[in-house]
Amino acid sequence: MNEPSAPAVPQPQQPLRPKVEELRLLEVASELLAAYKGGKLIRIAGVSTGRGQACATIAHELPHASVCLWYLDLHYSELASEHARLENGSVAENLAIDCKADLELTDLDCTLVPLSSSGEQELARDLIQQHYDALSLNRWMVVSVDNPKDRWVHEHLKTYEKSIRGRPFQDAVVYIVEKSRPLKKRKDFSCQLAFRDCDELIHLVTRPGVFSHRELDNGARQLLDAVDVYPEARLIDIGCGSGSVALGVAKRDPSAHVRAVDSNARALWCVRQGIALNGLENVSLELNASGEYQDSGTFDMALANPPYFGNYLIAEKFLQAAQRSLREGGRLVLVTKQPAWYQENLPRWFEDCEVFPSRRYHIASGVKAKTAG
């Protein structure tokens, strides 16, 4: 008879290598900023396609600099904080890691914008504009992209400055843009649209970086059609995005209360605009990436349109968050194009489960079990 195998020993976490666009940007930015190692105070801000390694490294290289690493999503800002501690033992005192809808800084000396060629182009335009506008005159924006044959980013940068320095690599290209004049006019990348729900016109604001920019997601439409709202009901919209579902159900009954939750600060900015446009007073907002929401165990209904990426790990987190949020007997209703996984897994957390088609989607539903006794 074989002896039982020894339990696996947990392996220590290792710092992640920067993505190629961030690695090349860091190389160029470090050279550009080397003259400031003598202690002159400068102000730097940037974004990241990964764990913020460029900003974190520069903060350590230039301890007299003030460095801000800006994320739209709280989850990724928290991962960046964890990674900085893992790699360096602590987050540098001169590094601020912010999660906000917009870059709220001005008079910067240098901005860092790594981009992925597979990313959202309108978001890239938005990020470039904000970082260029935040610069002081005669200061630099460093932009990289993981496409050594890039033309699109280069042509877009030329709308800001005609003279752009490029540094080619085998796997990326890095551009240095020196700001010679103030930005004449900032382009507004937000979009206002309207849709009808239960004979009410719902106004919605969307922005780059938030799910379903410039259109109403068809899944949200099916989710709205699948639920009813009763007086005094407490509902929570998990992963609310621009707020189409939260705003729609809130408009149906002013006595109901709707909590709109997302990890994306810009998503909640959009919902806040929607609240004002629709004259609503029964919607509250919560920026949260943990799934441990305020007032857990008190909601009558949880609504969700979980993302399809992440090999169902994110979907599972949505179900767990909904189960915690609901009162006993409360109901989860979600929309999906992948019904098989929910048919198999919903009963792990809910009872009275059902999954049924709704046009090109499926609606999945379950009830939080009541405690015996």
pLDDT digit string, tens, across residues 82-122:
999 988 788 999 999 999 999 999 999 999 999 999 999 99
Strand ranges across the sheet with 299-304: 283-287, 257-262, 234-238, 299-304, 326-336, 361-367, 351-358
CATH number given to 20-178:
3.40.50.150
- Kindly state the average pLDDT of the residues 184-211: 97
The pTM of the full predicted model, rounded to 2 decimals, is 0.94
For the chain, counts of helices (H) and of strands (E): 10, 16
- Kindly state the average pLDDT of the residues 218-241: 97
What is the rounded CA–CA span in Å between residue 247 and residue 340? Answer: 29
Domain ranges across the chain:
20-178, 191-367
pLDDT digit string, tens, across residues 62-73:
999 999 999 999
Mean pLDDT of the chain: 94
Token pair listed for 197: 């729900």
Higher pLDDT, 187 or 13: 187
CB 140 within 8 A of CB 32: yes
The pLDDT value recorded for residue 7 is 46
CATH number given to 191-367:
3.40.50.150
